[in-house]
Chain A
Amino acid sequence: MKNIKTNHTRGLILVAVILSMLACTEKLDIQPKQSIDAETALTSPQNIQATLVGAYLEARHTGIFGSSFNEYSELYAATNDMQFIGTYQQPREFYRKQATVTNTYVSTTWIRAYRLINKTNLLLQQDVLGLLSDSEKQRVEGEARFLRGWVVFEMTRLFGLPYEPGQANNQPGIPIILIPTNDVQDATKLPRNSVAECYQQAIADLSSAKDLLPASNGVYASSFAASAVLARLYLQMGNYTAAATEANRVIEQGGFSLTATPLEAFNNSGMSPEDIFALQNNVASNTPWLTVMYASLNGMGRGDYDIQQVFIDRFHPDDLRGMVQTDTDPGTTIAEVHHMYYIGVGTILNFGGINTSKWGDYYANIPLIRLAEMYLIRAEANFESGTGQVGPNTPTQDINTIRQRAQAPVHAEPVTRQQIREERYLELCWEGHRLHDLKRWKLNIGDYPYNAGNLILPIPFREMEVNDLMEQNSWYTGS
């Protein structure tokens, strides 16, 4: 009897012990292990620098600088020079100049561009910059403004109707957002600013970046990179003097030089002497999409962009930029390609067609602004401005600098407008310039006039759904 009672007591003690161990509510405080709280993220110089690195990563995203900005331009501009032979519906829509509001390329672009803008806005908060030493502060602010200004410019010319020199440019651009989203309350609905306001904002940011940034900044944006983007922007606006001035600054003071051959400017793992700004790829971190779309090599690329012989025929037979390598086979890699074009090996799609060698390696850098473009800008701007030559070279000399590097016969003085424009086409093809050049020159694309509503992107469906202040581009509303 005693024994049973003891057992019973023991049992009750056990029950009591277990009950007393009832887990406490602290057990619900489980903190993340692989991420940090946003409140602490921007409180140390180290983390601020790291956030800046995160902004460059964003800029490299497929949806913006990493690939889509290039693809929109080349697909929309394509007429008989390139045949899109891929199976993906989204790029096919741009190629047919018939995009839809639900195109996922476009929504990705929109989302990623504003993610980049928000990242730069986070860095540009005064209390964040205030945590940095003066030199660091200048550099971080400069780089953030560089990225913000540039993406606003690129987005404006894709989503807004063309900038018309000398006009009010009240046509809608994109919403300008300069305040970071720290909380859901900050995620307000905003309407589109005018194209004029967008250009103003881009100029303000890039000019400020130009002043703040050092002359040399490794693989990151330098003062010359800001000038180079400004040159491109002013050219787009038809502000030729300013374009020539910025391009001239880069050429004469930047310390860049053209690579020995045109192809050497591409597929590099480090910065080439010609790179003013390049997105950095390596095996561990890369945006391979341009190569996926343009290349058709051993294990790399679909070769969806089939370059046409009529385009190749524009090059002088000696021009290195128009040479086609024909001895390719399914084992060929970019290391074995020594011409600017090659016959696709068709591991995936493009078999027997012509592919560009500019984008031939998933893990190689993506040059976004090369010195060659600065020569072309200076040439064109000086030719068009009519207000006196900026820099030491005549337009003909600048054009011939490019042609000589390509071993193409030089042009006699003076070059014509047509020759300058043609040179731009031949040198910068497949790098995302063509659409904007044609619009700038007010030239038709196929049957569409340069300012046709179907040559700009739609505001994505998801954005229209969630923001009633957003105005859709009229071609997409059927009006």
Chain B
Amino acid sequence: MKRFLLFFTVFVLGGATLFGQTILVRGTVTDQNSGQTLPGVTVLEKGTSNGVATDPNGRYEIRVRPEAVLVFSFIGMQAQEVAVEGRTTINVALAPDVFSLDAVVIVGYGTALKRELTGSISKVETEGIAQMPSHTFETAIQGRASGVFVEQASGKLGESIKMRIRGSSSISADNQPLYVIDGVPITTQNQGQEFNQPTSPLADLSMTDIESIQILKDASAAAIYGSRASNGVVIINTKRGQTGVTRFNVNYSSGLSEPSRLMEWLNAQQYFELLDEAMDNVLYDGLVWGWLPKEEIWRRYGRWNGVMEYDEDWQAEAFQKGSFNRISFNGSGGMGNTTFYAGISYDDHTGILRGNNMNKFNARLNLDQKASDRFSFGMQMSLNRNELERVENDNAFATPLQLVAQSPLTPIIDPATGEYNTNTVYYNGLISIRDTYNNTTVFRTLANAYGAYNILDGLTFRSEFGTDLLDQREKNFWGRNTIGAGPAGEAQNRSVRVLNYNWENYFNFDKALDLHVVNVVAGMSYQESNTVGNNIEGRGFPTDDFQNIASAAEASSFSSWEYGHSFLSFFSRVNYKFMDKYLLSLSGRVDGSSRFGIDNRFGFFPSVSAGWILSEENFLRGLSDPLSFLKVRASYGITGNSGIPDYAHLALFGGVNYAGRNGIEPIQLQSRALGWERTSQFNVGADFGLFNDRLTFEVDYYYKYTTDLLLYRTLPSTSGYTGVWSNFGTLENKGLEFALRSNNLTGRFSWTTDFNISFNRNKILDVGGEEITPNSLSYVMEGQPLGVFKMRKYAGVDPDNGDALFYLNADSQETTNDYNLAESQVVGSPNPDFVGGLSNYMAYGGFDLNVLMSFVYGNMIYRGGGIYQSANGDWFDNQTVDQMNRWQNPGDITEVPQARLGEGNGTQESDRYLTDGSYLRLRNIELGYTLPQNVLRSIRLSGMRIYLSVQNLYTFTKYEGWDPEVNFLGTNRSTQNQNIIQGIDFYTAPQARTYSVGINFTF
């Protein structure tokens, strides 16, 4: 219809100019990033109503005056103006513009124009996601959205990623955002076994099918998802077809990866020097500790015979040459009343850690059908298979990076047997790499069907049913020579199935009357999630060749589990716009959750927001150059959190087994009144457009106040219980966000800069005065941010005798060499002062260059492995090279105490191992070349782009460990521990640096 109108315009109005001096201009409009041609782009002669739209191949023809200026515009793209200057062929590449004020933003249960938003929503650039050599899509958000802090716990594949939107709003309940894909809130909880790091169910999904990612940050945006919206909502929509010819896209990329940073360890000579000295310093009567001669200590504990034969680099053994391959193929289009998108992709990642690999296959079909003028329906469905080969958790001798603890004096391969050396300082983890497998396979089906019925003009009813079926199998085997699996091997089979379904029904009403525009959404949703699983472990296998439990001599463990929860919700939102400049939005949602006590099941989550487009006012019209747009907005609302275990409110007994008999035991106390955790959030912000929107920026200030914290409140354990779920306590987050886009240059050479920076301050206000700590390092304390580090403060080395010194207490400079006398004190916070990103996009001719940097500033990292790795030769663990600066003679000024074997001179947990974790990372650099249209036509393609990229090329940081982007949760990974324990490194793998090349065709 629109196109018809345009033709009509051209025919009737454009006809008039036929008699003037006009020329025929032709050309093709493409997408600057993908090189794909764009159908439906409006081409308008500036200052007239003379215009056309591009055809399905992106081509256009328009008759204009030779001195005319053409304006090319398309939804979601930056408009571009080109002076004709007498040319008859003008090809234009449009740059996508997620920041454009006319960009369409997906909000809960609908869409909105960015210029009319009253809440705070970040739309993330998704253009490059399909070719990012990453294993999970959250990395695509890193550094690209203000107010969003994304942290990869380690460089291991498939493991979970922390995302915090505007800080942490809970202590014991979940702080991860709600993820909604095509309208379905999906399963995001780790389903893997407890003794390994959590895996991420988000890694199962394809990166290539993603059309848009938006992040709802403030209460007004998120309250429509009331329950679980306290941590923000990430809305992801997948690609849909458009009516027109069928277009195919093929993308292939391939790359190599390596660890982005390495640590420096002692070589054999240095190691010998340090350890021998460490023994010399503890000789009594010529014997080490007055016990054994040095040679015997070397033999027993250093596993060394005194002959300097080897100088092994154990760190290198932990890594392998990583690689990455992705191929994707998709087609989209539509005829008549049907549109479709179909895509398949295959990813193959070889991780940088030995034994860590992942491959996944994803297929998707999205179909939309208009059955009549009033009724349309459709379905989106994807099948995903993700196969992950894992390594052991960071706290296991068998994990690759713990190989660094081995002595460079001991050979990796035993020369006598030609096999991995078993006579090493610690268990040789290479044996596990050889004789263990640890495979997790996930089959995941996301399916969503909808029907929309147009009851009256402006009134639509929509019903959507979505499911997320996750089926995970783990198959593990430990050979007889691996640690803990002797004498005859162990195997494990574990499976979990999570069925999560969601049914939503809602009305949408639009009405415009003169200057009043109203949009109303009202409806309900029901969501239920059920998990069933079982686990069996067997031990005793005839040989290592038999690896199935069927061959096990005995079952060593067997269990099963089953649990579930549900949500029932009713919601409504009213948007009102007056004179295109006054905006008002009200929303409310009532949520009930099975997780709460019967009296407090339902929570009401309202929000109100308003916006005022000042630039539409007459008094600012005069300023329209440069101030092309100005909107101020404010919102206030309440959101909830129910991210606690199922049945947390019930008093329960569970089953146990002792001496071949079944027993039961109390597990938890009742919490009858358990209800929703509530976060009220105030947001005020402004959006600016300058120089005809070439420079746009937005700034937001927010204050989030969380009450009725879902706190696993500590009880005196003399009661037989360590805690109980309760609604107790308060905390706050406040912050400032700033995002800017500048089209520095437009035209043949274009250059766009995006910059964002976010400041968040988290503070625990009330937890009843007590301190909570899961590990005696990270604390919850009133007046401090979540996870603040509290430990002994290291005061360096006594120059007189080489003793490690600690500050006696927080208020004095007095020191002591007695660790126990030193007071534990607050020494830093793992929460950054600010985070952000800077991206620059440049295009010239067919070339484009994209450089993304992200930064984190002001957070501290505790290197948990430091007490072993940088312990001035306290034990036979290989040491970091800086330990060679140890104190040796009276008067030496150094930070490294005297080497004393086994005497713990300064090797206790202290802020000696706490360092600044700030970093600036060159996260992604991509250089692309798009072939010109005339070349493409000759090879019958409509688009082709080749590209080179580097991920994590360099990281600027003072951090002493492998990687400042790190978090090791320890072995008890309750949600509370996951929230509190931040910024801890424990033999944690660095991120990969990946170099890749790719090619993309459209035809």
Contact = CB atoms under 8 A, between A and B. Distances in A.
B719 A181 contact: yes
Interface in B656-675: 656-667, 669-671
Contacts of B375: 7, 11
B658 A102 contact: no
Given A35-B653, A187-B715, A298-B487, A465 B770 contact: yes
Nearest to B665: A54
Interface in A227-275: none
B524 interface: yes
B486 A347 contact: yes
Contact of A50 (B461, B484, B663, B670): B663
A168 interface: no
Nearest to B290: A80
A5 to B, nearest CB: 11
B528 A27 contact: yes
Given A11-B453, A461-B776, A27 B300 contact: no
Given A35-B655, A348-B483, A102 B670 contact: no
A52 B663 CA distance: 7
A463 B562 contact: no
Interface string A33-63: 1111111010000010011111111101000
Contact of A18 (B463, B558, B667, B718): B463
A1 interface: no
B557 A25 contact: no
A38 B821 contact: no
Nearest to A29: B594
Nearest to A48: B664
B716 A41 contact: no
Nearest to B526: A23
B566 A28 contact: yes
A30 B646 contact: yes
Contacts of B561: 34
Interface in A281-325: 282-285, 297-300, 308
Nearest to A52: B663
Contacts of B484: 299-300
Contacts of B868: 87
A177 interface: yes
Given A466-B715, A466-B716, A119 B666 contact: yes
A391 interface: no
Interface string B155-192: 00000000000000000000000000000000000000
Interface of chain A, main secondary structure = mixed
Given A32-B563, A32-B647, A119 B426 contact: no
Contact of B717 (A41, A51, A53, A462): A462
A141 to B, nearest CB: 17
Nearest to A107: B717
A175 interface: yes
A54 B664 contact: yes
B303 A351 contact: yes
Contact of A38 (B566, B658, B670, B867): B670
B487 A333 contact: yes
Contacts of B427: 347-348
Contacts of A15: 453, 455, 461
Nearest to B818: A98
B664 A41 contact: yes
B486 A181 contact: no
A63 to B, nearest CB: 11
B196 interface: no
Given A41-B664, A333-B487, A57 B656 contact: yes
B505 A19 contact: yes
Which bracket fits the contact residues of B? 35 or more
Interface in A184-235: 184, 186-190, 219
Contacts of A38: 650-653, 666, 670
B592 interface: yes
A37 B652 contact: yes
Contacts of B669: 181, 183-184, 187
A118 B562 CA distance: 27
Interface string B719-733: 111101010000000
Nearest to B823: A478
Nearest to A460: B717
Nearest to B596: A28
Interface string B356-399: 00000000000000001011000000000000000000000100
A348 B301 CA distance: 11
Nearest to B289: A83
B423 A346 contact: yes
Given A282-B660, A284-B556, A35 B720 contact: no
Contacts of A284: 555-558, 657, 660
B820 interface: yes
Interface string A442-461: 00000000000000000011
Contacts of A18: 463, 505
B662 A50 contact: yes
Contacts of A299: 480, 482-487
B497 interface: no
Contacts of B325: none
Interface residues of A, number: 97
A432 interface: no
Given A27-B568, A284-B556, A466-B715, A184 B670 contact: yes
Given A11-B375, A333-B486, A25 B651 contact: no
A284 B562 CA distance: 21
A85 interface: yes
Interface in B588-606: 592-594, 601
Given A19-B505, A23-B568, A34-B561, A347 B716 contact: no
Interface in B612-665: 646-647, 650-665
A30 B715 contact: no
A131 interface: no
Contact of B656 (A54, A114, A351, A353): A54
Contacts of B144: none
B564 interface: yes
B702 to A, nearest CB: 32
B667 A35 contact: yes
A56 B660 CA distance: 12
Contact of A181 (B463, B480, B721): B721
B291 interface: yes
A357 B482 CA distance: 22
Contacts of B558: 284
A187 B723 CA distance: 10
B80 interface: no
B714 interface: yes
B875 interface: yes
A280 interface: yes
A32 B652 contact: yes
18 contacts: A27-B594, A34-B563, A47-B653, A54-B656, A114-B720, A115-B721, A118-B721, A122-B666, A189-B716, A299-B482, A331-B487, A347-B483, A347-B486, A348-B483, A465-B714, A466-B714, A466-B716, A466-B770
Q: Which 4 interchain pairs have the tightest Cβ spacing?
A: A299-B486, A118-B720, A53-B663, A54-B665
Interface of A: 7-8, 11-12, 14-15, 18-19, 22-23, 25, 27-30, 32-39, 41, 47, 50-58, 60, 83, 85, 87, 89, 92, 96, 98, 100, 102, 104, 107, 110-111, 114-115, 117-119, 121-122, 175, 177, 180-184, 186-190, 219, 280, 282-285, 297-300, 308, 330-331, 333, 346-349, 351-353, 460-463, 465-467, 470, 478
Given A300-B486, A461-B776, 10 more contacts: A15-B461, A34-B560, A35-B654, A38-B651, A47-B653, A53-B659, A175-B718, A177-B718, A187-B715, A466-B714
Interface of B: 289, 291, 299-301, 303, 372, 374-375, 397, 422-423, 426-427, 451, 453, 455, 461, 463, 480, 482-487, 503, 505, 524, 526, 528, 539, 554-558, 560-568, 592-594, 601, 646-647, 650-667, 669-671, 714-722, 724, 726, 770-773, 776, 820-821, 867-868, 875, 904, 908-909
